Chains A and B, each alone.
Chain A
Amino acid sequence: MADARLVATARECRVQIIRMLTHAGSGHPGGSLSVIDILTALYFGRLRYDPTRPDWPDRDRVVLSKGHAVPALYTVMAKAGYFPESQLITLRKLGSPLQGHPDRTMLPGIEAATGSLGQGLSISLGLALGLRLRRSPARVYCILGDGEIQEGQVWEAAMAAPKLGLPMHGLDNLTVILDYNKIQLDNFVAKILDLEPVLAKWQAFGWAVIEIDGHDFDQIGKALDQAEATVGPVIIVAHTIKGKGVSFMENDPEWHGKAPKPAEAIQAIREILGVGDAAWDGHLAKNPGTRALVDELRALEKK
């Protein structure tokens, strides 16, 4: 079953997110864990790409506008074959192409530099328009953070998108996904600058809006199908849980931008794998790969 494969892939990616952030000693686990199911659904079954030809003109594009969640993107890119999974732990290290926020020039497969929030939607509009101008079948997927859409440039782009390129080159090839995890750096979004009514805002700007659970692969898949069949740009508002999969990270603004300590990372991985505390030692005895990962993280404790 396709869904079981996606669930398993996303689980492996979550483990790698925890691993790489622990090695890095800094980074953004909360938003990486909220967006990883969406990225998994895109990269394993949806996008047309060839990791051996990252500059293939007709590849589908992903612009991760919420660039701080790039650890999640790196994990799916590694699985997709853009670079070896062993490179993930070079995240944020001197000389690594895995920069703290995406760098297009250093890592083939990254479509745009992002991380200065609010810019990715405009870039995606231009990409979608440029692809339509040369009759490419490629699609553009732009992932926005919820706090990010407090930026004014997002609404300049939102106002432009439904009309851009018409009548000949309307943006039927653009799908935007809002990772609505309800938390930004300082606090809950509703406490900083509430976005609600967020669906009505996008509708008022002329967008087709689809609302889903961003951790349900069935719903993600159907929404992406529906977006492809829609004339004009579509936004999928994906309700997600910040820190999804790790009990002590979920729904806690503290875990927006803080790396786990090795002991926390090991607990997080145990929870992601769905293993109870009592069964953990038995699980490790039977799973040498996980055992090695736990040993690797424990060794960091001593550094």
Chain B
Amino acid sequence: MPAKASRAAFGEALLELGAKDDRIVTVDADLSKSTMTAKFAKTYPDRAFNLGIAESNMVGIGAGLALAGRIPFVCSFACFVVGRFETIRISVAYTNANVKIVGTHAGIAIGEDGYSQMGLEDIACIRSLPNIPVIQPADELETRQAVAWAVEHQGPLYLRLTRQNLEPVCPPDYRFRPGRWLVLRPGNDVTLIGSGGTVFNCVEAARLLEADGISAEVVNAASIKPLDEELLLRSAGKTGHVVTVEDHSIQGGLGGAVAEILGEVLPTPLKRLGVQGFGESGDAKGLYAKHGLDPAGIAASIRKFLNR
């Protein structure tokens, strides 16, 4: 499989699923060309609703559609849709409406548009709500499976997708399951946990570390909430060191979720890699290098963390 953006894989998967299930509808706020629901809208014009640049109303209408038995995918940039947090909190979460919230353009990897368009706090916000799973697939295969699961799942959820292309990382026989992580590469010295756009870089970093004699266990954490507590504790117990890598604020995201569990259940030395402060304009590669999320940066942080 060639590299593909998870937003693109989402758009294709939704188009296919929409042919089989006419309860599926899309709700957008003038970004359907970017969230990749435009093809769905063209194919099923009476099941696609573009509300204009009005995200609060988009979320609320999604809730109503769900309460009337539809399966709405409510889509915008991660920052804009999760920015309507209070509407998500009451109309979706507390109401327990079966809304699939899709946030694309996750993280600093969107590059040139700069901070105002970057979803960097969305995981932290949504993770604080009682009944919304947070799912961030790492490649095309996983995205397709996560979207199929989203249709099956009864209840709200949050799907976090990338603008940039993602190299394939999951094996062909992989099956996405909520609350389950995947060991992409076994190792003994450090547990290296990535999610979404950072997973491939974690795999590459492990290759670099191997040359230094450091054996990293690479884990793909697509299910950020619920997380895979069993796998986390097993791997952390084995390696004794945990590193999280995410294209999200260093506060409240994957690293925060891992810290909460380890701190309570199995205190383990932990290094969180992520975005500190606001994002900024620039090329995606340069931004990842600046924030230490590229393979070389991840490897360097781990050497320092392990004192090796």
Contact = CB atoms under 8 A, between A and B. Distances in A.
Interface of A: 57, 103-105, 111-116, 118-119, 121-131, 133-134, 136, 152-153, 156-157, 159-160, 164-165, 168-169
B257 interface: no
B91 A123 contact: yes
Contacts of A118: 56
Interface stretch (B47-55, B121-129, B289-297): B47-55
Interface stretch (B31-39, B63-71, B137-145, B259-267): B63-71
Interface string B97-115: 1000000000000000000
Interface residues on B, range: 20 to 34
A6 to B, nearest CB: 28
Given A103-B94, A111-B67, A130-B69, A156 B62 contact: no
Contacts of B95: 104-105, 112-113, 123
Contact of B65 (A115, A119, A129, A153): A129
B57 A160 contact: yes
27 contacts: A104-B95, A105-B95, A116-B90, A122-B60, A122-B64, A123-B63, A123-B64, A125-B61, A126-B60, A126-B63, A126-B65, A126-B66, A126-B67, A129-B64, A129-B65, A130-B64, A130-B66, A130-B68, A133-B47, A133-B70, A152-B56, A153-B56, A153-B60, A156-B57, A157-B60, A160-B57, A164-B51
Contacts of B63: 112, 122-123, 126
Given A130-B69, A160-B54, A122 B25 contact: no
Contacts of B59: 122
A130 B70 contact: yes
Nearest to B55: A156
B215 interface: no
A57 B299 CA distance: 56
B96 interface: yes
A17 B191 CA distance: 59
Contact of A112 (B49, B69, B86, B91): B91
Per CB-CB distance, the 9 closest pairs between chain A and chain B, nearest first, are A126-B64, A122-B60, A130-B68, A156-B57, A156-B54, A126-B61, A127-B64, A113-B94, A153-B56
A119 B90 contact: yes
Contacts of A130: 64-70
A131 B60 contact: no
Contacts of A122: 56-57, 59-61, 63-64, 87, 91
Contact of A169 (B46, B62, B64, B94): B46
Contacts of B51: 156, 160, 164
A176 B209 CA distance: 63
A123 B68 contact: no
B57 A129 contact: no
B225 interface: no
B7 interface: no
Contacts of A125: 57, 60-61, 64
A160 B61 contact: yes
Contacts of A156: 51, 54, 56-57
Contacts of A165: 49
B89 interface: yes
A152 B84 CA distance: 12
A165 B68 CA distance: 14
A130 B54 CA distance: 19
B94 to A, nearest CB: 4
A157 B57 contact: yes
A134 B56 CA distance: 24
Contacts of A133: 25, 46-47, 65, 68, 70
A119 B91 contact: yes
Residue of A115, A130, A133, A136 with most partner-chain B CB within 10 A: A130
